Chain A
Amino acid sequence: MAHARITSIDATDAAQAPGVVGVFTLADVGLPAVPGIILLNQDVKRAPLADDVVRFVGEPIVAIVTEERYQGEDAAELVFVDYEPLPVVVDPEQALKDEVVLHEVAGTNVVMRLGEPPDEHLFDGCDVVVTERIVNQRIGIAPLEVRSAAAAWDGERLTVWQATQMPQASRDAFQAMLGLEPGQVHLIAPDVGGGFGAKTGVSGEELVMAWLARHLDRPMRWLENRTENMLAMGHGRAQIQRVTIGGTRDGQLQAYRLEIIADSGAYAGFGGMLAFMTRMMAPGVYAIPKVESTSVSVVTNTTPTVAYRGAGRPEAAAAIERAIDLYAAEIGVDPVEVRRKNLVANDAFPYTNAAGTTYDSGDYQRALDLVVEAADYQALRAEQQRRRASNDVHQLGIGVAVYVEVTGGPYAGNEVAKIEITPDGGAKVYTGTSPHGQGHVTAWSMLASEELGIPMDRIEVIHGDTDLVPVGGGTAGSRSLQLGGAAVHQASLELVELARKRAAEELEANPDDIVLDKIDGRFHVAGTPAVGKTWAELAIVEPMTVESTFQAASSTFPFGAHIAVVDVDTETGKVTVERLIAVDDAGRILNPLIVEGQRHGGLAQGIAQALCEEIVYDEDGNLLTSNLADFTFISAAELPSFELVPMETPTTANPLGAKGIGESGTIGATPAVQNAVVDALSHLGIRHIDMPTTPQRVWGAIQGAVR
């Protein structure tokens, strides 16, 4: 039941099943609404367990506590819920009509509108205007570890272990929703098996678990299975876009309009908010004089949408990059040439785009040049011509995308680091970021070691425990190195200053004359290295700790250019990605191996959206892709090895010169692959194929074109 009024819940049999400790409904727990990380609309609140109406398949209705998991699955089968079915609306365009309204209090399905009324003269003076409806489909996020949490009370103090990207925010959310005082919640994020934007905030399931642990006075744990994860954790993307682009016949862009319908899912959380980020980045890397974007976020009887790697920026890049190719095809100019002609000039930075967003630094021309050269673009075009001329079953497609995105949050962010010298002369680095595969232990050790002259293996990085690290923003939005790493760097410098003063006292010298020999981590007077003090010797005098908050000057704007080469089997519609060549410039690189790993992962997810992954509902709101057999999670067999081209354009927003690299891959690769598929078939008159470009969809497009 995707939309129904609950008329009764009979848990009598379940309560008597083996191993059952108790069965609880919303009325039993009496907990407040769960806002997630953002509540977009006060009238569209979500209760931690279903209230009298269920609004999507996957909304928890009762909580069953059992001694063992298998008993819980058995007992759940014995809960009988009577429903009075309500009409279901799955399609966001239908939801906009408000024929079925999900939240009576709100009176409408619209939860957020952004943008000005359209300018009817926007495209005046354009020789050519092209428009297209583009579906940026709903995607399963699918970290390999599903959500899990545990809770235990010790008197008035609650400890929660949660698989989360943001431990401090979760601590605060538990505290607020359980009506507790500061200091009463201790949150620990142990090793977390991937997040990708979805492991943020506190869910109803987790809140109820923590409440039950107190109510029943025993430790409690909750672990969803994959089907529950696909139904309930949240999905990404889910926009329907209309792009309209206009310019001269020789390829000068003049105006661009992006209209977004964002599917928020059944409640108004972060997913509905993502259109804000999409609008910020609407014109991408192009200097288009007139740009207009509007968005409307609506609720539907589907799983709520949340952040997913890129979170609003891939949707912007996909729209503008598809629009550029549509325009290039219309005027018959090579897509690389059209891009070159319209890129923001290298000397224009800091550059404020027509949506009002200021890009810190960039060199888009060079990124495009590098990728064109690495791909051997002209040779690819020649091969494409050869295959077209010979009417080859296997047609070659070449897709180009140039992108810019925003990292470290939409506004200038900050982060905390604390460094403590241990009595043996090692260091403990406490960070407010919370890694789950991003390599912060390695990278933060490098940063501290570089300034302190303490070997990396004697530096311990501590994160994810709110008693040890009370303040922090966690890891999301490609923020960690540029904010958390910069904080470690800043604290290291401050600690060296502190140590120089102390060494000066110990050595009876002027602090200005004290230098740190980073080879052996020892302070001495410049020119007289024989007499000195090590970190351990200084820390014995008095404990040495520095805590520092780094404030960035601005957000940062990584950019790059991708070329995808695909083979399309015109008899079956099967697309094979043969090559993916990527220039990703995220400013100065600290650890090349980690950066490459981040790029690889993003590229795979970006290709997956273009190629195969999609969340599908039937018209009754049943999720048809509710497990990893039906959801076509991309595997090694569908991917090539990636060709990475290095490029570094530093930012001045932080002293490391670093921008975020976590999400770039998903932003460039998706439109590059989609453009490549369309490009392979453009000689048939095909101008657009929606994602994912599955064999069925591609074959259908070919059949439609041939007829």
Chain B
Amino acid sequence: MNVSVNVNGQQREDDVEPRLLLVHYLRDVLGLTGTNVGCDTSSCGACSVHLDGEAVKSCTVLAVMADGRSVTTIEGLAPSADEMHPMQRAFQENHGLQCGFCTPGMVMAATSLLREIPDPTEQQVREGLEGNLCRCTGYHNIVQAVLAAAKSGGAQ
């Protein structure tokens, strides 16, 4: 099937298998390997991307479902090649990552969360990120990073 998807501001046209998952389209067809796969049950959120501006788990979306829509991945989040997005900067400054595998999904989910709740409480951050798992950080510094990003305009 043909799909036409705007990915990180670029229009992409591809012929894909109907069963191809969006995450595999991004990784294997487009080579955007910043989006990771950590499970096969939509539990871990490592594959979170924005679909029309809202966080989705791209392992639970078929590539064909993205037809005519726009996708933002971690590669497309920063305003430019030498400037980080406020959420990325907050993760760096707060040591919000260790192995880094969950980080792209965590950052995408967190930016989406702040669009919904621009000034969240700690508990709202914890509950808002319940669908994004991390094995390294114990979430402590991830939560701190998101709270810090909220204060520095991470919702943009």
Contact = CB atoms under 8 A, between A and B. Distances in A.
Given A142-B135, A191-B99, 19 more contacts: A144-B102, A144-B135, A193-B100, A194-B135, A225-B40, A226-B41, A437-B100, A596-B95, A601-B136, A601-B138, A604-B138, A627-B40, A627-B43, A628-B41, A628-B43, A628-B44, A635-B130, A639-B138, A639-B140
Interface of A: 70, 142-146, 191-194, 196, 225-227, 436-439, 593-594, 596-597, 600-605, 627-629, 633, 635-637, 639, 641-642, 665
Contacts of A194: 98-99, 101, 135-136
Interface string B103-134: 00000000000000000001001110111111
A193 B138 contact: no
Interface in B86-100: 95, 97-100
Given A193-B99, A593-B95, A603-B138, A639 B126 contact: yes
29 contacts: A70-B19, A142-B135, A144-B38, A144-B101, A144-B134, A144-B135, A145-B38, A194-B101, A196-B135, A226-B39, A437-B97, A437-B99, A437-B100, A437-B136, A596-B141, A601-B138, A604-B137, A604-B140, A627-B41, A628-B41, A629-B39, A629-B43, A633-B43, A633-B44, A635-B130, A636-B125, A636-B142, A639-B126, A641-B144
Contacts of A629: 39, 41-43
Nearest to A223: B37
A436 to B, nearest CB: 5
A596 B46 CA distance: 23
A437 to B, nearest CB: 3
Interface centre among B19, B38, B126 (most CB of A within 10 A): B38
A600 B137 contact: yes
Contacts of B17: 70
A439 to B, nearest CB: 7
A194 B46 CA distance: 13
A145 B135 CA distance: 10
Interface centre among B42, B136, B143 (most CB of A within 10 A): B136
A191 B43 CA distance: 23
Contacts of B143: 636, 641
B126 A636 contact: yes
Contacts of B41: 226, 627-629
Nearest to A603: B138
B84 to A, nearest CB: 17
Given A225-B40, A628-B43, A636 B139 contact: yes
Interface in B42-90: 42-44, 46
A618 B101 CA distance: 32
A688 B35 CA distance: 44
Contact of A601 (B43, B98, B132): B98
Given A144-B44, A636-B126, A639-B139, A628 B39 contact: yes
A170 to B, nearest CB: 18
For the complex of A and B, list the 3 residue pairs with the smallest distance between their C-beta atoms, beginning with the closest: A604-B138, A193-B101, A437-B98
A25 to B, nearest CB: 26
A627 B133 CA distance: 13
Given A192-B99, A601-B137, A145 B36 contact: yes
A63 B78 CA distance: 41
Given A193-B99, A627-B40, A144 B46 contact: yes
A113 to B, nearest CB: 34
A641 B137 CA distance: 11
Contacts of A603: 138
A345 to B, nearest CB: 33
Nearest to A230: B39
A591 B44 CA distance: 30
A485 to B, nearest CB: 17
Contacts of A635: 129-133, 139
Interface centre among B99, B122, B141 (most CB of A within 10 A): B99
A637 B127 contact: yes
A226 B40 contact: yes
B99 A143 contact: yes
Nearest to B42: A629
A439 B97 CA distance: 10
Contacts of B99: 143-145, 191-194, 436-437
Contacts of B135: 142-144, 194, 196, 601, 605, 633
Contacts of B140: 600, 604, 639, 641-642
B139 A438 contact: no
Interface centre among B40, B134, B135, B141 (most CB of A within 10 A): B135
Contacts of A636: 125-127, 129-130, 132, 134, 139, 142-143
A196 B140 CA distance: 18
B93 to A, nearest CB: 10
Contacts of A196: 135
A364 B17 CA distance: 62
Nearest to A597: B95
A440 to B, nearest CB: 11
A194 B139 CA distance: 15
Nearest to B131: A635
Contacts of A602: 138
Contacts of B101: 143-145, 193-194
Contacts of B131: 635
A439 B138 contact: no
A506 B29 CA distance: 58
Nearest to B38: A144
Contacts of A226: 38-41, 44
Contacts of B130: 635-637
Contact of B36 (A193, A225, A605, A641): A193
A600 B141 CA distance: 8
Nearest to A669: B138
Contacts of A146: 38
A635 B38 CA distance: 14
Nearest to B94: A593
A225 B43 CA distance: 13
Interface centre among A196, A605, A628, A665 (most CB of B within 10 A): A628
Given A145-B101, A226-B41, A641 B122 contact: yes
A191 B99 CA distance: 8
B101 to A, nearest CB: 3
A604 B142 CA distance: 13
A601 B98 CA distance: 9
A633 B43 CA distance: 9
Contacts of A142: 135
A227 B40 contact: yes
A597 B39 contact: no
A227 B44 CA distance: 13
A225 B47 CA distance: 14
Contacts of A193: 36, 99-101
A351 to B, nearest CB: 31
A588 B125 CA distance: 33
B74 to A, nearest CB: 14
A636 B139 CA distance: 6
Contacts of B137: 597, 600-601, 604
Contacts of A642: 138, 140
